[in-house]
Structures are given as C-alpha cells and as structure tokens.
Structure 1
Amino acid sequence: MGNKVLGIGLESSCDETAVAIVADGKTILSHAIFSQIHLHKEYYGVVPEIASRAHLEVINDLIDHCLQEASITFKDLSYVAATYRPGLVGSLLVALQSAKAISFTLSIPLIAVHHLEAHLYAPFLEGHGIGFPFIGLLVSGGNTALYCVHDYGNLELLGNTTDDAVGEAFDKVAKFLSLGYPGGPIIEKLASQATLKKPIFPKILADSNETYSFSYSGLKTA
C-alpha cells in the first residue's frame, strides 16, 4: 500500500456490526456490515442482550473479511478506531474491547469515536467536496438532531428531539398497527400508495424562536 496510512474502524453501538479499512482517512478499501434485523424482528425492537451476543459472534469474521478484501494484514495497520458512545452498553463493549486488543497487540493508537460525530463527518469519505460550515441532520436510530458543523470537533447543536426520535416513532406506529419491523421502510411503502394528497398530522417542529427542536410523540399517537 506504499506510504498510505491504513486504519481499521469497528462499530457495534446498537444492532449492526460494521468493520471498514480506510486509507489516509478518506478512501474506503473494504467494509462489511452484519445486520441483526432478523434477530429482533419478532420483538419489534432491539433487545440489548441479543444484540451484544450477536456482535460477539460475528465481529472477528468481519475483521478477517475486510483485511482479506483490502489485501492487507494486521501488521499493515497504523491505527484502530472504535465507537465508544453513545449506544447500548453491552453492544459498545464488543467493538471497543476488540479495538483495545488490536491496539495492545500491535502497539498502534486506539481512536475512540463518538458515533454521532462520525455520522456528521461521513460525507468527507471518498473525497466528496463538502466544506465547513455545513448543516447536518442526524436521524440515526434513537437520535434526531440538527447540528451546525463549523469544523472538526466544533459542533453546534441547533435542535434535538424533545421526546421520541423519528426512528422510534416509525417503529412504535408499525407495532401499534402490526405492520412489522423495522417500521420505516414498511410505512414509507404504504405512504407511497396513499390516495389522500394532504394528510392531516401534527407539526413535528416545536414552536420556538431559539431552537429547531423536533417532537414526534404527537405524530406517533395521532
């Protein structure tokens, strides 16, 4: 790989196990994701104990797969990164402890990653031409928030959910209506078939002149 700086990233904050090999902080050489939807479907939501056990079962295989796909070995790595927050405690520990083991064994730096910040910086991967400042909308899992990203490490929270995250609202509505899990794709498909052009739903933006807060509890129970 010449003089490229190679790193491996590990993620297990909720119900997906993910691994990626990145060159020079931007070029993705390989990546793999294991989804647990089939494990949690009957419960209409993520069961923390099931999630953490599933991460343990697959993370080593994903690491091996990514190394092989990128045509490198552990010795080629310059650093390892892993999600340390926020997320389910048991799930977070899987990627973090795996990363600590790699860091200790290879004597390379361990970078702890706040996974919401990682979502905001994702557009920089693969050389996409985004610049600072920019507005980022996070709608990941149990999070719904609006940020102004001024620079690396310089984030301004513009608004947050005051109750449910949008993903939670989708899943709970789908459960109420016995539509299945996850709720988002199912409700989106049904909505595309709707004949009512202007459905009447509560506003999701809170009334405030100072923040851009969201509220989905009213929409969920409407």
Structure 2
Amino acid sequence: MLILGIETSCDETAAAVVARDADGRGRILSNVVHSQLEDHARFGGVVPEIAARAHVEALDGIVARALAEAGIGFADLDGVAATAGPGLIGGVLVGLMSAKGIALVHGLPLVAVNHLEGHALTARLTDGVEFPYLLLLVSGGHTQFVAVEGLGRYRRLGTTIDDALGEAFDKTAKLLGLAYPGGPAVERAARAGDANRFALPRPLLGRDSLDFSLSGLKTAVRQAAQAAAPLTDRDVADVAAAFQATVAEIVAIKARRALAVFTKQTGVTAPVLVVAGGVAANQAIGTALRAAAAAVGARLVVPPAGLCTDNGAMIAWAGAERLAAGLVDGLDAPARARWPLDADAVPKLGSGQHGAKA
C-alpha cells in the first residue's frame, strides 16, 4: 500500500510517500519538508496568514518532489492522506483541499488525518511498537499523556491546564532575547548555564495529578529575568538552564506517575513510553525521561528528530493505518482548527463553539 501524506497545519509544508507492507510494517520512500522559519523569524513566532500563503506557493512543488523521490506517480498510489486539523485553519485548508483535489482527479480514497494521531502513531512506523502504549505528546500546542489503546482509541490521562511546553520554551526564548524558534535556542543557551542559580517553581508536582501547568513557571522566568536585568550572556544562560532543568524534572516525575497509572489500568508490566512532538528533540528532557522509564522498567521510544517535528511521513503513515482498517473519508471532510485526540474526554483548555483545544 502506497500512501501520499500532506502536512500543512503550521509552518512546515510537507509531503511524503510511505509504504505499508502486508505484514503491517512501514517504509518511508520519501519525506520532503519545507520550513518557513525565515518567513516568521522576524516576528518571533508563526504568523497564520503568512504561513497559509507560503503553503499555497510551495505545496505543489513539494508534492511533486515527494513523488519523484519515491520513484512513483499518482497512478501508483493507493490513497492520499492530509492533516485535517488541529492547526492554523488557513494552512490546514490548503493541504486538505489539495488532497481532496488529488483524490477526486485520480480516483483515490481520501483519509483526513488528525495531526495528533500522526504523532501518536509514528513510533509504530519507526519502531514497530505494538498497542497499547503510553504517549507523551509535547509540542508547541499540546502537552499531554495519552493511553494509545488501538487505532482511533485514545484515552487522555493528563494534559496541560494552560500552556503547552513548546509554547513555554518559545516564550522563555523571547523573554531572554534569544532567536526563534525558541526550543533549540533555549537548549543551546542552557548548555553554558548554571541551572541552580535561579529557583523556579514546579507547578502541580505536589498534587496527585498527571496534569501540567506552565503559565506560572513562565511568570517566574520573567520575574527572574527582570530581577537580573540588564541581562548579560551569563544571566541568559543561567535562566535558560534553570528553566530547562525545571521542565525536565517536571516531565520526568509526571512520566513516572503516568507509567504507574498506565500499568495499573492496562496490566502491562513492561510498558512502552513513546515521546512525540517537537519538544521530544530536547536532549535534557530526553535524558530525564530515559532515567524515569528505566526506574520503573519501561521502554522509552523516541522517533528520530525529523519525525518528531511536523512532517508528511507521519500523516502518510496514519493514513495508511486507517486505510488498512477500512477507514476512509468523504470529500466533505471538514478542516478543523481544534480536534482533540481524545474527543470524548472532558475539555480542560479552550472549550468553546469550535471545540476544546485539549
């Protein structure tokens, strides 16, 4: 089974071709990602209108390149998948409408993929992880623990009640005058810093909860930076190191708790913890999670960095998994700005007429 996947939910224009073999294993035949970092860097964050226009300009060429690198044409495909949400609605519309056009013209089945499901299933493509497993999704818009019980069966164990971890990294970088994107910039600065110089809070660690809260931590970072102003390079490095060490500790402690809950609920004695999303590339957090998983006899799986950030291969693979299960969408499949992975869970963040953010 050959699937074309299209991803345009934020500031990466991506397309990929993935093969799903008869035994259920996957192979990436191509994975083309065009980053818009330069377009947004001067604004310190993603500008939705600029992102959508850039997707329009780039997507046709990215799809053509993905097919060429895979050595196939549209006639060789068994289906086309595209992110249908959640994300910046303008960008989501560009990719989904392009996929609908391809499906209509070439008579292909369409799979409208939840972007978060793409992240959730990537470890099955890269490492052949079997259901069930525990997912820690850490990205610019989401921070949550999810029990992945099967295809389309996702049960939330904990989530952020305010800000996502990736957003906290970006805001910290902006406070410290670091470059965009904030995550890699904070990590680089932290390497030269003293993590013990500034005492920062660990929100919700004293509660028996798997939820996260990061807004107060961001406030504490701002107060620390203001107290040390005007900031020297040493000050910046120390604040960055303190922030990174704090979030790594929070995530690791929460992960151990989540693994205990997951084991109790599922009866799986040697659980797998899968980490996905852009923040999964942070080495300090990865080190803390490896220690946390090892302490309770769990296996940690982190896909390669290029497959943790937004990409077309994860969407193609999610499409292949769904298509193999007979799950196909019509050409009326909607684009969604919000689309929780665990749609039946009680909303904790951003509940409104457009649905919950988390």
**Which whole-Å CA distance do the structure 2 matches of 1:202 and 1:158 have between them?**
23
Higher strand content, 1 or 2: 1
Q: Which whole-Å deviations, capped at 9, do the CAs of 1:148-173 have from their partners, x for residues lacking one?
A: 11111111101111111111111112
Q: Which residue of 1 aligns with 2:178?
A: 179
Find the partner of 2:20 among 21, 24, 32: 24
Equivalent residue number for residue 190 of structure 1: 189
Aligned twin of 1:157: 156
Q: Which of the pair has the greater relative contact order for Cα pairs under 8 Å at 6+ separation?
A: 2
Q: Hey, what's the Cα distance between the residues in 1 that align with 2:114 and 2:94? A: 15
State the aligned residue count: 216
Q: 1:178 to 1:162 in 2, by over 3 A?
A: same
Distance in 1 between residues matched to 2:94 and 2:140, nearest whole Å: 19
> How far apart are 1:189 and its partner, in Å?
1.2
Structure 1 position 143, deviation (Å) = 1.0
Q: CA RMSD in A?
A: 1.5
What residue in structure 2 maps to residue 135 of structure 1? Answer: 134
Shift of residue 195 of structure 1? 2.8
How many angstroms apart in 2 are the aligned matches of 1:206 and 1:54?
Answer: 41
The equivalent of 2:105 in structure 1 is 105
Q: Is the 8 A contact 1:83 1:115 kept in 2?
A: yes
Q: Which has the higher helix share?
A: 2
Q: What are the equivalent positions in structure 2 for 1:50-69 lying under 5 Å apart? A: 50-69=50-69
Give the percent of matched residue pairs that are identical in Structure 1 and Structure 2.
49
1:60-109 CA distances to partner (integer Å, 9 max, x unpaired)?
Answer: 11111111111111111110000001001100001100000000001110
Give the drift of 1:208.
3.8
- Aligned letter for 1:12? T
Q: Distance in 2 between matches of 1:196 and 1:121?
A: 34
Q: In the alignment, is the contact (CA less than 8 A) between 1:206 and 1:215 conserved in 2? A: no
Separation of aligned partners in 2, 1:159 and 1:205: 12
Which AA in structure 1 matches 2:193? A
**C-alpha distance in structure 2 between counterparts of 1:160 and 1:38, whole Å:** 31
Match of 2:212 in 1: 214
Partners of 1:79 and 1:111 within 8 A in 2: yes
User: How many Å apart are 1:181 and its aligned residue?
Assistant: 0.8
CA distance in 1, matches of 2:68, 2:128: 29
Asked if 1:7 corresponds to 2:7, the answer is no
Q: How far off is 1:38 after superposition?
A: 0.9
Contact kept in structure 2, 1:206 and 1:213, CA below 8 Å: no
Task: Assess, with a 3 A threshold, how the Cα gap between structure 1 residues 204 and 17 changes in structure 2: closer, same or farther.
Answer: farther
Where do 5+ consecutive residues of structure 1 fail to align?
Answer: none
Contact 1:51 1:91 in 2 (8 A): yes
Q: Distance in 2 between matches of 1:199 and 1:135?
A: 33
Indicate the larger mover: 16-25 or 49-58: 16-25
Alpha-carbon separation, structure 1, partners of 2:87 and 2:202? 28
For structure 2, the residue ranges without an aligned partner over 5 or more in a row are 221-358
TM-score, normalised to structure 1, is 0.93
Query: Would you say the 8 A contact 1:82–1:99 is kept in 2?
Result: yes
Tell me by how many angstroms 1:198 deviates. 7.0
